[in-house]
Amino acid sequence: MSVDDAVEVPLPDEPAGSRARSESKRSPDDAASAQTSDSDSTGTEPAGTEPAGVEPFLDDIGAAAEMEPEPENRRDLTMVRRIAIAAWAAFVVYEIVVYGLAFDRTRLIVLLCLGMLAATIGRRRAISVIIDWLPFALILLLYDWTRDVARIVDMPTQWHLAVDVDDWMFGVNPTVWLQEHLKEASPPWWEVVTSVIYMSYFIVPYAAAAVLWLRDRSAWRRYAACFVATTFLALIGYTLVPAAPPWAAARCTAEQVVDHPREPQCMENEGAVPGGGILGEVTPTNPDAAPYVERISARGWNFLNIHAASTLVEVGQGKANLVAAIPSLHAGLTMLLALFMWPRVKALGRTLFMGYAIAMAFTLVYTAEHYVFDILLGWALAAFVIVVANVIDRRWVIPRRERREQEAQESSEATGRTEDADGAVEVGR
């Protein structure tokens, strides 16, 4: 299978999948005729004529920037596209080796856009990458810039809300219970999986957006709108209801946070605190495990001796909003991806996407990043956004598209009738 078949980028005037359908409808005679035509057009020139010269490779690269609107005038840039994709892949490998995985949103989007530019050579105008992705990237950058609005508003931080709700739902705190029964003194092999799942949040939703853009731009626009809506609605939650995550509650006592501080000094403690902090004591079944709740979302990388990855995650966590727990955007965006892809994939795809969202939820609770309450709110937010998007589609987007298609069809039919009438007049003359 070629790179072009793998990404399945439709031609600018060809809907996705139409090429495959047209090929399947061709009769054997048509296929043979097409093959003969192709061989005639590319084979040996008749005697007495000069052989067609090979266009310089640099001319092909220049032609990749623009395409003729008529398919018959477009140049075949397949080789240029494949070379560009290979060069992009090599560049990504170099970036990862030298600078590590791209968990920074800006860097990741730039790398993805470079890959899409390579994959669309000869298929779609290069400017379409900028037209579609620049607003999306700017909106997400705006989100990053406005995250500190919560500091300006300075609402009281909730330290007991999620703890009380989780205790009410389960009778015990799920994070405490999981670390009591599963945590070991040093990271076991399966914590590599939880660390990968946790870090995948910074890559998978954006990579999925890139694949959607290559395959179906209309679906990508819906996904991008849902992604942005979920992100900013979560920002409203962080601003109005700042809440401490489990790892922070395990480092502070109730007396230290009685005034609902945003980032008290006790959050910097990494050892045991009297009584296990707000979460209470931990009695691990593994005797060598620490008897208190720890933040261990990056610990799995130490099993592989990839300490740079662990350090990178911890540095990024230190720069983030430390009391942005309600709702969980990790849970919200992974569930949004699962719900959005549900009607677009088959049973295996549904299982994988939904399994990813559930695995993310387990990871967040076990590693003390979020309470179950946070995750349920994130899932509810994703479901709300999907429902609203579907309602907007049914009431406004789809009817407007159908009206435009009907108007275009009526205009085409009217043009055809006019041409037929003109032809009849010419015959009468």
Q: Give the count of beta carbons closer than 10 Å to the beta carbon of residue 134.
A: 12
pLDDT tier, 314 (very low <50, low <70, confident <90, very high otherwise): low
Lowest mean pLDDT among 57-61, 77-81, 171-175, 278-282: 57-61
By 3-state DSSP, what share of the chain in percent is helix, strand and coil, each rounded to 5? Answer: 70, 0, 30
pLDDT tier, 429 (very low <50, low <70, confident <90, very high otherwise): low
293 touches 176 (CB < 8 A) = yes
Question: Cα separation of 17 and 39, whole Å?
Answer: 26
pLDDT score, position 24: 45
Q: What CA–CA distances, in Å, run from 187 to 195, 245, 278, 298, 382?
A: 10, 21, 25, 10, 32
Lowest mean pLDDT among 51-65, 107-121, 236-250: 51-65
pLDDT for 362 beyond 50: yes
pLDDT for 75 beyond 50: yes
pLDDT for 293 beyond 80: yes
Q: By three-state DSSP, how is residue 48 classified? A: coil
Only one residue has tokens 């695995």, namely: 359
pLDDT for 35 beyond 60: no
Residue 71 DSSP one-character state = G
Question: Cα separation of 406 and 422, whole Å?
Answer: 24
Residue 250 DSSP one-character state = T
Mean pLDDT of all residues in 157-167: 95
pLDDT score, position 312: 65
Q: Which residue has the higher pLDDT, 428 or 41?
A: 428
Mean pLDDT of all residues in 341-351: 95
Q: Which residue has the higher pLDDT, 365 or 263?
A: 365
Question: Cα separation of 123 and 15, whole Å?
Answer: 12
Mean pLDDT of all residues in 322-326: 88
Mean pLDDT of all residues in 18-22: 44
Structure tokens at 370: 């979020």
Q: What is the pLDDT of residues 106-134, one digit of tens each?
A: 888 888 899 999 988 888 888 888 888 88
Q: Which residue has the higher pLDDT, 173 or 6?
A: 173
pLDDT tier, 74 (very low <50, low <70, confident <90, very high otherwise): low
Question: Cα separation of 256 and 237, whole Å?
Answer: 24
Which segments of 241-293 does DSSP mark as H helices, in order?
246-249
Q: Residue 114: which of 95, 97, 99 has the closest Cα?
A: 95
187 touches 302 (CB < 8 A) = yes
Q: Which residue has the higher pLDDT, 280 or 361?
A: 361
Lowest mean pLDDT among 28-37, 169-178, 186-195, 396-405: 28-37
pTM: 0.76
pLDDT for 245 beyond 50: yes
Q: Which helix (H) or strand (E) holds 239?
A: helix 217-240
pLDDT for 44 beyond 60: no
Question: Cα separation of 84 and 250, whole Å?
Answer: 50
Question: Cα separation of 175 and 370, whole Å?
Answer: 8
Q: Residue 165: which of 420, 376, 20 has the closest Cα?
A: 376
Which segments of 120-173 does DSSP mark as H helices, in order?
127-146, 149-153, 161-170
First to last CA, the chain: 57
- Tell me phi and psi for residue 328, to 5 degrees: -80, 115
| % of the chain exceeding 90 in pLDDT | 42
Q: Which residue has the higher pLDDT, 416 or 7?
A: 416
Please give the mean pLDDT across all residues of the chain: 80
Q: Residue 194: which of 294, 300, 293, 103 has the closest Cα?
A: 300
pLDDT score, position 263: 86
Mean pLDDT of all residues in 213-231: 92
pLDDT tier, 96 (very low <50, low <70, confident <90, very high otherwise): confident
Burial of 9 (0-12, 13-18, 19+ CB in 10 A): buried
Q: Residue 192: which of 298, 300, 294 has the closest Cα?
A: 300
pLDDT score, position 154: 80
pLDDT tier, 22 (very low <50, low <70, confident <90, very high otherwise): very low
